[in-house]
Amino acid sequence: MVAKPGLDGHDRGARILARCFRDAGFEVIYTGCHQSPEQIAGAAIQEDVDLVGLSCLSGAHRYLFPKVVELLKERGAEDIAVIGGGIIPDQDFENLYKSGIKAIFTPGAKLETIVEWVQTNIKPRR
């Protein structure tokens, strides 16, 4: 699942990534813009996804990304992996990883690299 949390309406990158995942053979759900962490976690559980890819360009990643991970844990779905991408300063990586984000991809990351990471690190939950 690819999701755009918060008030960030810039979704071109998220749409490109969703299409790239689809072209790589993944089943993809794109939630669209302006999703709350609660909506994202709920959709991830309802759709029984293996991975949530969050995209944030607004600077709110320090709150939004960990909140999605926290909500998944609270709802017994801590086995759904969460990755993030967008404009994320290097100094934020450590706290995001500590919060449970599995990988972070910033502008310039090659689509092939992201797909390869998912293929290598994400196994179907069931």
Measure the CA–CA gap between 8 and 12, rounded to whole angstroms. Answer: 11
Residue-level pLDDT at 124 = 86
Token pair 């890819």: residue: 53
pTM of the model: 0.95
The CA angle 51-95-107, to the nearest 5 degrees, is 60
Per residue in 14-29, pLDDT (tens digit) is 999 999 999 999 999 9
Residue 125 pLDDT > 90: no
Residue-level pLDDT at 66 = 98
Q: Which CATH number fits the domain 2-120, given the four candidates 3.40.50.280, 1.10.1740.10, 2.40.340.10, 3.40.50.300? A: 3.40.50.280
